[in-house]
Amino acid sequence: MSWYRNAVWFVKGLREYTRSGYESASKHFSPADVEVNVAGRSFLVTGANSGIGKATAKEIARRGGTVHLVCRSKERAEVAKGEIVTETGNPNIFLHIVDISDPKEIWKFAEKFKNEHKLNVLINNAGCMVNNRELTEDGLEKNFATNTLGTYVLTTALLPLLEKEADARVITVSSGGMLVQKLNISDLQSERGTFDGTMVYAQNKRQQVVLTEQWAKAHRNIHFSVMHPGWADTPAVRSAMPDFYQRMKNTLRTEAQGADTVVWLAVSPEATKLPSGLFFQDRQPVPTHLPLASTRSPPEDEEKLMEMLEGFSQKFKPTSPG
């Protein structure tokens, strides 16, 4: 059935995920939803030096929020920070250099961050699509390490900080590509079969949806959401999917359009009126499975994923803070 899932997803994408899909959906947006002042609230955005992460950080900064940019490249991050400060006039932009594919580094950062800052909203945006199987220094497959384990470690490490705040939120940037994947907990690091970076990425994005649903059940005081930004013209798409980019470049969304729902989920009072744990596209909750696609997994597999990630997480946790 994989051919069917792929075909349905692509047709759906042509209709909804491109720029014209955003323009159609945005006719029903309420501008007042995001016309808010979030001064005094603290936001952490991973992968914030380019693409949807930077566009998100910029929009939050425009609304007065304190923004923590978590980036891997210091040089590119400094440029992004300068651009955000200059364009928004908001000086409360802070930079943290962290490799989200390195769980030990994430733990170290999170412990330090918890001692020095407050946090109202965590935005898990950092991600990668590596098209050949690569291992990190810790022996982790790089897509899994960044997209799934990195998201899990950072979120769980910061949950105690979020629990302290009113109206705390966690937003994870996923992908509609997850619709073609059924959760597979038997091969988290893609060690078996032919390696297909696009499908590994889609599997990671399915895992992020499951994480969000599981966290929402376990942490009632925090509003969790996961979203699909549509097909946007970002540096990541250009580098990881050059053929797709060349075919679709004239129809792709802008970075700001891709970031719109992230911003809405992060700042709008309307977003938290909806249940925690939902998957969003263009400010609306949407199904996490295509009709007839056979991508649903048993609850025990979803619980097992959490157990396995916790095992990985604890393996890399420092024995003492910092």
Active site amino acids: 201
Other Cβ atoms less than 10 A from the Cβ of 192: the count is 8
Q: In whole angstroms, give the CA distance from residue 11 to residue 150.
A: 31
Q: In whole angstroms, give the CA distance from residue 206 to residue 208.
A: 5
Q: In whole angstroms, give the CA distance from residue 211 to residue 155.
A: 10
The CA distances from residue 26 to 16, 41, 75, in Å, are 12, 26, 35
SS (H, E, C) 63-114: CCCEEEEEECCHHHHHHHHHHHHHHHCCCCEEEEECCCCCHHHHHHHHHHHH
Closest CA to 147 of 104, 195, 103, 81: 103
Write the CB contacts of 281 (distance below 8 Å, at least 6 apart in sequence).
16, 176, 227, 228, 230, 261
Bridge partners, 185 (sequence order): none
DSSP H or E segment with residue 226: strand 222-227
Q: In whole angstroms, give the CA distance from residue 91 to residue 65.
A: 10
What is the chain's Cα-based Rg? 18
What is the chain's length? 322
